[in-house]
Amino acid sequence: MNIRQKAIGLALLGLLVGGTSCKDFLDVTPANSVEDRRMFGNPENAEASVYGCYGALSSANYLGLRYPLFADLAADNLTQTGTFASFNEIDLASIQPSNTETTGMWGTIYAGINTCNNVIERVEATPGLSDALKKQYVAEAKALRGFHYFNLVRYWGGVPLVLKSTKVDEPISSLSIPRSTVEEVYNQVQADFDAAELDLPLTSDPSRLNKWSVRGLKARLALYRKQWATAADLCDQILANPSYGLVPNYRDLFEGGFTKESLWEVDFTQTNSSQFAFFMFPSPFGRGEVAATGATANLATASTNGTSYENRTTDKRYAATLSVGFQLNGTTVKGNTVVKYDDPGNGDDNYIVIRLGEIILTAAEAKAELGGARLNEALAHMNDIRVRAGLAPRTLATTNAQATLLSQIERERRLELALEGHRWFDLKRRDRVQAVLGTLVPNLAQNRDRELWPIPARELTNNSKLVQNNGY
């Protein structure tokens, strides 16, 4: 049984279903109510409440579709081919504060945070639950809360830090929380990850967090904060663990799930399905709301920004990621179709949150930034990814070696992690949005403020202390 199925029912009552804004948080079950005591009244219900913390992840408003998909749609990997005006706003960097997609995502993430806060505050009072499990459950909730805030800050910048569960008997004024700065949010994410790592197990159900997956998230966070030595050290720890390794065949990463390369992924089934393939496959198999951009589909040839697949036949990632026309059930599927998620009917393609391929490229980038003798280590990491893809290893450039290597690593990240929800964030954190997207997306060239999304209008109405991002 997957996490979502276990979460349905008791653990989700009043926590995930209705929470979509600060005001809506008032509708959750109050502390010390009969329902609250039921949720933490015995070890079984306490565990169900922890599963509930994972429940928000599989929402189509979050990792079930929109959060990772929009990171490629806002960049140069995907383009809108359907009719949703809200998707078109994201594609063209013309997002309005009333955008239903971004509003829904914000609400879903904060609902997930509220669920985590509830477990952090109350699970330790569960009768009959061992001290070890109490610590583990709090650790899982803190790790997930940190993950949620990390995802909020990457799209919106500074956001309100809500660190206690909200209750029905609280006045709405108590929920009017101003935005924290980006650095303050990052500090909270770091604190949650650090605290979680101490009490998480070394191994776990592959769809639940453990020490290694949190170390991977900490390495990602360090990369965003330009803490190169920290990122490199965390990656080295993970790479030294023989439990993880690159799968020889890149396509196998996306067939069946939970490979040796996966540190953490969201488990989807036919009854708890993702919507990636449905939104990416054209009619009659899916909605066809998005497709690969022409530049992405033509990555076998040189493109204007130099991020091409070197050889469409040799590079194993191409056929595992894209198709420009293929047969499915006797019908020709036309267009630049994403096939990394290839089951539009059942939607049971897992979403890999973090995997060893990303860790290797994080190690490569961090060590390349450190420079000096670390350049050779960085090169070796990048070549591990290239060789698995079927490409020849590179050598260090004789001039401008560091800058050249960093450019090559950026290129490999785009190819290796294509359509997994990284491209927009990679361009932002390396201050490359203008150089790569400025001519493609005029709204970005005219207004750099558009690199942050607008705070949803509904949240501004409900929270008088919120201030809108510049440019909206």
Span 14-72, pLDDT tens digits = 333 333 444 443 233 344 454 566 789 999 999 999 999 999 999 999 999 999 999 99
Query: Structural domain tally of the chain?
Result: 2
Final residue before a domain boundary, out of 340, 367, 385: 340
Residue 443 lies in a domain: no
Residue 442 lies in a domain: no
- Of 298-302, 391-395, 416-420, 450-454, the range with the lowest mean pLDDT is 298-302
282 lies in the same domain as 198:
no
Alpha-carbon distance of 364 to 417, in angstroms, equals 14
Which positions ≥6 away from 211 have C-beta within 8 Å?
Answer: 197, 200, 201, 202
CA-closest candidate to residue 197, choices 151, 154, 238, 163: 238
53 lies in the same domain as 146:
yes
Residue 216 lies in a domain: no
Final residue before a domain boundary, out of 303, 324, 340: 340
Residue 376 lies in a domain: no
Average pLDDT of the segment spanning 309-336: 73
CA dihedral 227, 231, 233, 239 (to 10 degrees): -170
Average pLDDT of the segment spanning 410-417: 95
Residue 162 lies in a domain: yes
Residue 426 lies in a domain: no
286 lies in the same domain as 197:
no
The average confidence (pLDDT) of the chain is: 87
Please classify residue 128 by burial: count the beta carbons closer than 10 Å to its beta carbon, then call 0-12 exposed, 13-18 middle and 19+ buried: exposed
Alpha-carbon distance of 145 to 155, in angstroms, equals 16
Residue 379 lies in a domain: no
181 lies in the same domain as 288:
no
Q: Residue 46's domain is classified under what CATH number?
A: 1.25.40.390
- Answer whether 348's CB lies under 8 Å from 268's CB: yes
Alpha-carbon distance of 372 to 210, in angstroms, equals 34
Domain that holds residue 112: 3-202+452-462
Residue predicted with more confidence, 342 or 90? 90
Alpha-carbon distance of 258 to 264, in angstroms, equals 8
- Token pair 């009490």 is found at 199
Which positions ≥6 away from 189 have C-beta within 8 Å?
Answer: 146, 147, 149, 150, 153, 221
Residue 166 lies in a domain: yes
- Of 164-168, 249-253, 272-276, 318-322, the range with the lowest mean pLDDT is 164-168
38's tokens: 């039921």
End-to-end CA distance of the chain: 44
Average pLDDT of the segment spanning 381-398: 97
Q: What is the pLDDT of residue 293?
A: 82
